[in-house]
Structure 1
Amino acid sequence: MFVRGIRGATTVERNEAKEILQATNELLQHIVAENGIVPEEIACIFVTVTQDLTATFPAQAIRSMAGWELVPLMCSLEVPVEGSLSRCIRLMVMVNTEKKQDEIHHVYLREAMRLRPDLSKLTNA
């Protein structure tokens, strides 16, 4: 068994708690569905946000999901690089799996698709 990282990112239109929580939940649901994982397989999740998102902790969305109470979560700020994507939420889901690196499906939604167009699928729009 390996520990693999699954990347994901999304954006929100406004710095509002409800929108941040909804977008975080949506992103994690896509990651779970695309990779066929369950909470028990997850070692931890790193959550980052850009400095313009201050209304809430995105990890609250994950913590409130049934069955996710014991998954270790850590929030942090993204490095503030000039010209980088604004209002962005990123997840790094560390999962215990037998999958090979090239079998992992990373998920980029909304404007975050610009971050990794090579990994973004049209179905994730």
Structure 2
Amino acid sequence: MIRGVRGAVTVTEDSNEEVLRETARLVTEMARANDINPDTIASVIISTTTDISSAFPARAVRNLDGWTFVPVMCTHEMNVPGALEKCIRLLMHVNTEKPQKDIQHIYLNNAVQLRPDLVK
């Protein structure tokens, strides 16, 4: 069965280094928290707010050990007034037998305000 695993992280500045570092940290934490092996991933969709343009976050995923062949796509979030700025959101489609209630969605830095009900 395929489950969606959500995550988000914010960056303090739109720099290549920070976008890649924080994206890798988010993906690594999502995988760790949910016992995800890259071979079980069907696809990953990454969106960024429009104020992030220095790097493709997908590059951070592809550079992780064992993640080279995971299908990853980047896009931009809707530009809604008052929305959280400098935010990278991720949706990972994973083959797992875990019930939906046991999936741990990960929100880091200021992104914890997106889903405080899911932050532990």
Q: TM-score per shorter chain, which class?
A: over 0.9
Equivalent residue letter for 2:67: W
Cα distance in 2 for residues equivalent to 1:12 and 1:49: 10
Distance, in Å, in 1 between the alignment partners of 2:64 and 2:100 is 27
Identity of aligned residues (%): 45
Deviation at residue 72 of structure 1 after TM alignment:
0.3
Alignment partner of 1:93: what SS? strand
TM-score by length of 1: 0.95
- 1:92 to partner: Cα distance: 0.2
Counterparts of 2:96 and 2:64, CA distance in 1: 22
Q: Would you say how many aligned residue pairs link Structure 1 and Structure 2?
A: 120
In the alignment, which residue of structure 2 is the partner of 1:106?
Answer: 105
Q: Aligned residue for 2:54?
A: 55
CA distance in 1, matches of 2:57, 2:44: 11
**What is the TM-score normalised by the length of structure 2?**
0.99
Deviations 1:60-99 (A, max 9, x none): 0011112111100010000111100000001100000001
